[in-house]
Structure 1
Amino acid sequence: MPKRLILDSRLLDITITRLCQQLIENHDTFEQSVILGLQPKGVFLAKHIQSKLQELTGKNVPTGYLDTTFYRDDFRRRETPLLANTTHVPFIIENKKVILIDDVLFTGRSIRAALDAMIAFGRPHKVELLVLIDRKYSRDLPIEPHYVGQHVNTILSQRVLVEWTEKGATENAIWLVDTQDTTG
């Protein structure tokens, strides 16, 4: 599987800092804002965003993790059952500005499921979507992010691989991987 580097560790750090600066512009004191990272992969980005925001502002933005397994529209259509992840939302989101975070936006189905799952914790005042990678031209649903690290043109035979040192990678990096077998 050929791999092409999209963002190395240095550029990824710059991108996360830029995304945090945009959040600071729009959320100011973060008094009414919370972060929800989508399980499983958005959690790592949510932790990086929370940490960088604390470094830049001195504020600890409440952060939780949301599992959408049972809210997915393909939950019962899979041959092998999906395994649920932990949902940890230690705050009420009623009337809060929710910053929903995921690593890669592809079809939009995970985000749709997250919107449904969020309602169990209250009705937010506003929901904004932050993603590291927006896979352009692949959306099945009319969902667009408010904050984007990078737009990437992809085809269906490719996938975006986000590697974190917290998950055992040697360095944080984002790759575009061709999943087609080119050996014939």
Structure 2
Amino acid sequence: MRHQLFPLNVIFIAIVASPFTSGNSAEVEKKESSESIVATELDRHEISIRTLDRSYRESIASLNEAYQADRESLRKAITKKLTKQQKLLTEQGKLDEAVAVRERITQLSSKRILPPLSFGVTSDLSTHGIVGTWRWNNGVDVRNLSDGKTNGNCTWKLVDGSKNEYLFNWSKIPADRVRLSGNGRVLEGTKANDLTFRVWAVRID
């Protein structure tokens, strides 16, 4: 019996062109394309949030400056009136009353001017701002519960209230240390054991 031999290049072309190989390649490319689209959209979403955050911070900074200036103007006005009253009381020999007015002037001058939003914001964000559903940079949605747990195998806790920093302890991967943005919409940070490994999540509810 004679066997027909085929050139190696013909065999190679047949293998490359086989439907099975082509189908697998298409599926892999489709999967990679889908993952790429998701990653791109998440990056764009994050950029949009950062732009909004920057605009918010700039607006707040401008508002704070105006508030500080107006409050300082009010303080100067009341100080001027009280100083005039103190002088009058001194001339009238009412020294005790004059001293009391002077003390009020001193209190006003030493009092730190803080915008009303400076009170209670950090505390509120720390206790309530993180509760809800977040989409992490790997595309997984995680719901943070108010008891320090999530709807998955993870727990979270506040580790630095002054910076709104949280630690997420995952069951199968290293922990994440992230900071809550000023508007309460973004969590951003790194792996707790690797400061070069960046992670983030955006609120979706």
Same fold (TM over 0.5): no
Query: TM-score range with shorter-chain normalisation?
Result: under 0.3
Question: Of Structure 1 and Structure 2, which has the larger fraction of its residues in strand?
Answer: 1
More relative contact order, 1 or 2 (CA 8 Å, 6+ apart): 1
TM (norm. structure 2) is 0.24
Question: Of Structure 1 and Structure 2, which has the larger fraction of its residues in helix?
Answer: 2
TM (norm. structure 1) is 0.25
Max radius of gyration: which structure? 2
